[in-house]
Amino acid sequence: MKNRKNKLSTLVIICFTTLFLGGCSDDFLVKYPLDKLTEETAFVTYDNFLTYSWGFYGRFGGFYTGGNSGTYTTPHNETEIHSDNFNKSQSGQFSPYKYQTKAEVSTSSSYSDPYTYIRRANIMLQNIDGAQMSETEKKHWRSVGLFFRSMEYYSLLRNYGGVIWIDKVIGDSDTDVYFGARSSRDEVAKNILDDLLYAEANIKEAGDGNNTVNVHVVRALLSRFTLFEGTWRKYHGLSNAETYLNTCETMSKKLIDAFPNVLSSYDDLYNSEDLPVGASSGVILARKYSKMVADGAHSIGRVIRTSAWYYDLTKDAVESYLCTDGKPIGSSTVYEGDENMNTEFRNRDRRLYYTVMPPYKIKITGPAGTSVRDDQWEYTDDPLNREYIDLMKTITKENGKYLPVRNFAGYMTHASPHFRGFPNGQGFIVGELGYYYWKYYNRHEDGMDLRASTQNYPIYRIGEIMLNYAEVMFELGKFNQGVADLTINKLRTRAAMPAMKVSEITADFDPARDQTIDPVLWEIRRERRVELMGDGFRFDDLKRWKKGNYVDKRALGVRVKNADYGNKLTLVNGSKEGKDVAEGNVVYFGEPAGWLDKYYLEPIPIKEQVLNPNLEQNPGWKDYRGTNGE
């Protein structure tokens, strides 16, 4: 057992290829090949299941590992670009949900891929009873299998609602399953909940070594799933929301008791080469990378320093960060306005500086056309141009987010904001809106090749669970100052922000509040938005809250004077828009067409409907049953 744990001391995602031959016989004369794995020979011992389970770990989110500059995506998932947080500032890459261009598709990996892994989980589950293990060990592996199967069904539920439920390995003769109807949302959600509760009660508390699926990881998925399903049911008018909300409260509190602390540095959560996992750091499970294995490293460190990074925050997202007096920009006494990026970023939540590249300007002194070292630049004569260079020195650790930034080849970038439309001779680290998303920027390694970065990625962390707990306690009518201190205020302390004082959050606390939302809930949701910015949650959050209309707002960028950028930027100022506007906010895409309610669920892929005439389409989308897909 000790040797087994040593082998799994860190979760380095490796692709294990394990082949299982279908079809088996009870004939005792059947000879199984000694040099090949079959179900009968592969699922015998504890270690057999251990090896097989590693094939599931690649399904956890993390940094992109590929090398094609045209396919870079944000970590975890890319759905957040469809929310009010982001703009993917690349020609033709506007969100189809914002501009009503979303259409049915023939196939979709978000539908097919989960079923591939559901089958793999079912293969594992059906071979447990006959294995040479104790009952306790069998319960453990059944729990692991149910965890991974539930993770896939949760993905399907989020995207499609009710889907075909498959809890066994099916063969060619199982036409009743292949051509079956969708199970109801109620049935799918209940099955997920029951399976995860079994896993929580029966999995080995410590899993199979450090940074493996254990009881805390199961509880983290339960917390995430039940908050989503409970609030979806509440705001979409479905029954039984309390069952899921109550479970979220229970599981979230268990995790907070076990992981009472958050990692001391917000920046280290995303830029650590050795992200600690455990109660002291609040990291429940992390994806760790290594150059020692094929495709074991990723490309985020390089691509975020190139011209191939297209992710800008919106002005709406930037404005969600509180000021250092703990108040929104609309009521803060220390907010200095948005006349320029310097004033807009002054006296703000520290997490803003770790997420969006702050403003600065320098003079490059190195030879033109050569790699510019750290000592080949000078400050300008204007002290405002170095304001945030000095600030980042005081709040960033070694190899972290220093200004000025440099690209992967060592060239220094002369300014932020740095526009693609006015790069001033430097076409790297550029954006369209000015709010350059640099959450994963660091200096661990320069001159990086593709797939050379090894910074870790937090899959489950207590910060998310604290936000889940704060929100669910409000939904259950139990949120108070004590809950705020146990959750939100721990996150604010790390961000060098004043504590949330629940009694001070009145109806006029934020003049920009959605008036249909309780003021306290609005602030809880704000904290979630800021803490998890770019982590892939926001679009799903808007869906479960039934607030898809938040994406109707046009994505605005920083306020600038066009003369400072050669009058090459498209600005908007009131009713005026164009390159002839002297001063205003940068824009890239036009006014959105508006959210449609059918977007709360994805369309069932055309091919699936054509093959299965019993597979009903989601509301509002075209039904392709009985057609040839046209």
Q: What share of the chain is helix, strand, coil (3-state, %, to 5)?
A: 40, 10, 55
Q: How far apart are CA 595 and CA 396, in angstroms?
A: 39
Task: Give the containing element (helix H, strand E) for 488.
Answer: helix 488-494
Question: What are the counts of helices (DSSP H) followed by strands (DSSP E) for the chain?
Answer: 21, 11
Give me the pLDDT at residue 3, please: 44
Question: Each residue of 439-465: pLDDT tens digit?
Answer: 999 988 766 677 888 999 999 999 999
**SS3 of residue 236 by DSSP:** coil
- What is the rounded average pLDDT of the residues 147-154? 98
Task: Give every CB contact of residue 480 below 8 A, 6+ residues apart in sequence.
Answer: 502
Q: How far apart are CA 234 and CA 240, in angstroms?
A: 8
Question: Are the CB atoms for 312 and 557 separated by under 8 Å?
Answer: yes
Residue closest to 63 by CA, chosen among 536, 564, 547, 473: 536
Give me the pLDDT at residue 33, please: 47
Give me the pLDDT at residue 365, please: 84
Question: Each residue of 590-626: pLDDT tens digit?
Answer: 999 999 999 999 999 999 999 999 999 999 999 999 8
Fold of 2-40+105-287: 1.25.40
Lowest-confidence range among 60-69, 194-203, 363-372, 542-551? 60-69
Q: How far apart are CA 416 and CA 16, in angstroms?
A: 43
Angle at 395 between CA 391 and CA 398, to 5 degrees: 115
Residue closest to 13 by CA, chosen among 451, 330, 450, 375: 451
Please, which pLDDT band fits residue 180 given cuts at 50, 70 and 90?
very high
What DSSP assignment string belongs to 347-377? Answer: TB-HHHHHHBPPPEEEEE-SPTTSPPPTTSE
483 phi/psi in degrees, rounded to 5? -65, -40
Whether the model pTM is above 0.85: yes
- pLDDT beyond 50 at 165: yes
Give me the pLDDT at residue 14, please: 33
Tokens read off for 421: 């439309």
Q: How far apart are CA 263 and CA 463, in angstroms?
A: 9
- pLDDT beyond 50 at 7: no
Tokens read off for 289: 């990378």
Give me the pLDDT at residue 65, please: 58
- pLDDT beyond 60 at 138: yes
- What is the rounded average pLDDT of the residues 576-595? 96
> CA-CA-CA-CA torsion for 380, 381, 386, 387, nearest 10 degrees?
-160
Give me the pLDDT at residue 25, please: 33
Question: Each residue of 475-533: pLDDT tens digit?
Answer: 999 999 999 999 999 999 999 999 999 999 999 999 999 999 999 999 999 999 999 99
User: CATH 1.25.40.390: which residues of the chain?
Assistant: 2-40+105-287
Q: What value does the mean pLDDT of the chain take?
A: 90
